[in-house]
Chain A
Amino acid sequence: MRVLIPSPLHDYTHAPRVEANGGTLGALLDDLDRQFPGIRFRMVDEQGQIRRHMRCFIDGVQIFSLAHALDGTDEVLFVQALSGG
């Protein structure tokens, strides 16, 4: 699957789009972390919640659960809401 990575995480991926796989959103994040160590904890907290300013869209629909099933043809978009000053 193609995965869009927001710019604050490009230090990990060095590219705005990467390839990753998994049967669920959680598994896809695990694959991302295998490829780019450390990236998952910056996106998802220790309770399995997508972090407050991180948004995930799959086929145009916002997804909140890491258990969301992926069929292998999805495009996964992670976008980042910036906050603070």
Chain B
Amino acid sequence: MASAHPVLLVATRKGAWLLHGDTDRQHWRLDGPHFLGQIINHLVLDPRNGRTLLAAVSTGHLGPTLFRSADLGANWQEAAQPPAFATTADGNGRSVKHTFWLEPGPASEPEVWYAGTSPQGLFRSTDGGDTWAPFSCLNDDPTFREWMGTEQDGTPDGPKLHSIQIDPRDPTHLYIAMSGGGVHESTDGGRSFTPLLDGLAVVEGFDRDTPTFHDPHCVRLCPTLPDRLYQQNHCGIYRLDRPATTWQRIGDNMPAEVGDIGFPLVLHPHDPDTLWVFPMNGDTVWPRTSPDGKPAAYRSRDGGASWQRQDHGLPAEQAWWTVKRQAMCADTEATLGLYVGTTSGELWASRDEGDNWQCLARHLPEIYALSIGYPQA
């Protein structure tokens, strides 16, 4: 039986922390560091069993790996076979720099996990994350390899595959996103993928029909309306209602002075019309700070037709941090809790769907990812 006590999983540039909450989310106990000094790109508790914790671990100087824990981090076991590309005869194949994204499979496949890596690769485990194999055509298909571009085309810490989204009605229906490389859909269990790019803007001067030039920052599928996708990308915020294939720019409805550039995008687990973004300054040289040094979440209750600023409790000025694409999440309580981890190592939480914010922790390393879990009692 799932616990009423949430655990907030904090992945940072220099280790991992677990925050154990009480039932009303008022008090949190900080547990850590785990893996001090190692880069943790993602830390996820398996929602299907409430027990298995997976951590994507790397350093600046060792090969990447994964660790698993069955006791909330009291003990960690290294994966027997972490994600690795196929070995090529000439030795010139790619090598995984780090695992960036961990995605549990559907409830009907309780031992399945997916992983997205840097450089762009898609991997799958069928044994709870102990051994991993390349998955689908993506990693080695010449067309996809061309669309992935080079290291120069990727994000500053490496091009990456992320936002692995699985249709809860059909485990063979998948979406993935690549930075760079665009958003792609598979309807055959990953055997093939098709670009899903219509309607999306690219940086002026680039060809929008070339997937390489598309940089999706975060793509989310609505759990209660799986035909609906939202996307925060390099150029704006979009919504797509299948079977349509053309994205609609809902970021145009954001205040002009804030714009619709950012990284994270969080969906309400029960209401497909409610979502949050956390805008970032994407002007000129891309400062990647809160706009004007005034951080705020923006919430839409109507699928992106309108947005409301939510900054009560957040610093009113001179706060020059921002939020990475995996560093904002929601819990599943009746009155939804939201959580934000900042590039300056602060943890902020709201127990009322973003209306009021309080700081849970300061002085952590740069926060790369947050996720919420409910450990099995």
Give residues in A with beta carbon < 8 Å to B.
8-9, 37-38, 41-49, 51-54, 80-84
- Quick one: which of B21-35 are within 8 Å of A by CB? none
Q: Contacting A37 at CB < 8 Å: which of B80, B85, B87, B92?
A: B80
- Quick one: which of B78-97 are within 8 Å of A by CB? 78-80, 82, 84-88, 91-96
The answer to whether B65 touches A46 (Cβ under 8 A) is no
Chain A residues near B85: list those with CB within 8 A: 46-47
User: In which size bucket is the chain B interface?
Assistant: 20 to 34
The answer to whether B61 touches A51 (Cβ under 8 A) is yes
Which 4 residue pairs across A and B have the least CB separation, nearest first?
A84-B60, A45-B95, A53-B61, A46-B84
B56-80 near A? 1/0 per residue, CB < 8 Å:
0001111101000000000000111
The answer to whether B63 touches A42 (Cβ under 8 A) is yes
Q: Contacting B61 at CB < 8 Å: which of A38, A44, A80?
A: A80
Chain A residues near B79: list those with CB within 8 A: 38
Q: Give Cα A9 to B62, complex, Å.
A: 9
Q: Give Cα A43 to B61, complex, Å.
A: 9
Chain B residues near A8: list those with CB within 8 A: 59, 61-62
The answer to whether A82 touches B95 (Cβ under 8 A) is no
The answer to whether A46 touches B96 (Cβ under 8 A) is yes
Give residues in B with beta carbon < 8 Å to A.
59-63, 65, 78-80, 82, 84-88, 91-96
The answer to whether B62 touches A47 (Cβ under 8 A) is no
* B140 CB → nearest A CB, Å: 13
Secondary structure class of chain A's binding surface, majority of residues: loop
Chain A residues near B62: list those with CB within 8 A: 8-9, 42-43, 51, 53-54, 80
The answer to whether A47 touches B61 (Cβ under 8 A) is no
Chain A residues near B96: list those with CB within 8 A: 45-46
The answer to whether B88 touches A42 (Cβ under 8 A) is no
* B345 CB → nearest A CB, Å: 14
Q: Give Cα A25 to B91, complex, Å.
A: 16
Chain B residues near A81: list those with CB within 8 A: 61
CB-nearest residue of chain B to A46: B84
15 CB contacts below 8 A, A to B, read A8-B61, A37-B80, A38-B65, A43-B62, A45-B84, A46-B87, A46-B95, A47-B91, A47-B94, A48-B91, A53-B62, A54-B61, A54-B62, A80-B61, A81-B61
Q: Give Cα A44 to B64, complex, Å.
A: 11
Q: Contacting A45 at CB < 8 Å: which of B59, B63, B80, B86?
A: B63
Answer whether A47 and B78 are a contact pair too, CB < 8 Å, given A42-B63, A84-B61.
no
* B344 CB → nearest A CB, Å: 15
Q: Give Cα A80 to B59, complex, Å.
A: 12
The answer to whether B84 touches A53 (Cβ under 8 A) is no
CB-nearest residue of chain B to A41: B63
Which of B62, B85, B91 is most buried by chain A, counting CB atoms within 10 A of its CB? B62
Answer whether A44 and B87 are a contact pair too, CB < 8 Å, given A37-B78, A38-B78, A49-B95.
no
